[in-house]
A and B are shown apart, each in its own frame.
Chain A
């Protein structure tokens, strides 16, 4: 039973990681990364490492995607300003 849960969690991680690599738009990629963070947290919890799972949940699914989204917004705004100047 426990092994089946581990296999399912591993497959989910592999699937969402593949989607994250295949997504080209950085803003969407940040969202997929956040889903990947949640799935990884599940995997760590299933593997009896709840401490690492909590770190992953806080950093991987909240902080990193947020920083990415803010960076994308800044870069897009700079691009828009450049176009207005021309």
Chain B
């Protein structure tokens, strides 16, 4: 294909996309209105299934299959990073020296670490009730662990972070989401159908049927995936060095 034809192709495609986008924007509901056809239906479906946080109901019940796709994307991306950033044959690990940490930084990090960790777990556990959920809480909990790298040093972080456990946890959480989806087939004919468990009392921890379980699976998957991702980056930044004698 010559340069000219390619340019025309891009311009035609771009113009078509622009026309469609503008046409779609003209038909959008006005900014900040309190009525929305999809929103009204989503809220009704969410309340019918006793899920207080409508966003969680959309993520883990009404659009649970989309969330499976998103979780698989994260799983695949982290798997790719772990493969690419592994230690190669011409590299070796240098033990990092114990680092000097300024006392205020150490105090702050060690004080905030438990608070941040509990916040992360709280956000995961209350995903079906209040804003947040597995993804947000998982990232918070995983990054909270790394305050130990700020407050102490890399060796201290490595001691509380056995990577094998997190690898197994990541895979287990991802597959448990699929298993829960298959379990949905028992009560109905739909994959990931929220029909297996009773919906419970509105606005309690156990309400929403399978929503809290899928939410917890995503929380565990995201937390493990983020820990593994950061571990590979930290390994490369702190420990792994190229062999010099070649």
Residues of A within 8 A of B (CB): 50-51, 53-55, 57-59, 62-63, 66-67, 70-71, 73-74, 77-78, 81, 85
* 23 intermolecular pairs with C-beta atoms under 8 Å apart: A51-B53, A51-B131, A51-B132, A51-B136, A53-B131, A55-B135, A57-B136, A58-B136, A58-B140, A58-B143, A62-B139, A63-B139, A63-B143, A63-B230, A66-B143, A66-B230, A67-B230, A70-B230, A70-B236, A73-B237, A74-B237, A77-B241, A81-B242
Report the Cα distance A4→B135, complex, angstroms: 31
Q: Which of B132, B146, B230 contacts A54 (CB 8 A)?
A: B132
Report the Cα distance A71→B230, complex, angstroms: 11
Contact A78 B55 (CB under 8 A): no
**B108 close to A (CB within 8 Å):** no
B138 closest partner in A (C-beta)? A58
* Binary flags per residue of B181-218, CB closer than 8 Å to A gives 1, else 0: 00000000000000000000000000000000000000
A3 closest partner in B (C-beta)? B32
Report A-chain residues with C-beta under 8 Å of the C-beta of B131.
50-51, 53-54
**B18 close to A (CB within 8 Å):** no
**B123 close to A (CB within 8 Å):** yes
Contact A70 B139 (CB under 8 A): no
Shortest beta-carbon distance from B140 to chain A in Å: 5
Shortest beta-carbon distance from B59 to chain A in Å: 9
Shortest beta-carbon distance from B130 to chain A in Å: 9
Known: A50-B132, A66-B146, A85-B244. 5 other contacts (CB 8 A): A51-B136, A55-B139, A58-B143, A70-B236, A81-B244
**B163 close to A (CB within 8 Å):** no
Shortest beta-carbon distance from B55 to chain A in Å: 4
B55 closest partner in A (C-beta)? A51
Shortest beta-carbon distance from B95 to chain A in Å: 15
Report the Cα distance A85→B241, complex, angstroms: 13
Q: Which of B136, B140, B230, B236 contacts A74 (CB 8 A)?
A: B236
* Binary flags per residue of B101-125, CB closer than 8 Å to A gives 1, else 0: 0000000000000000000000100
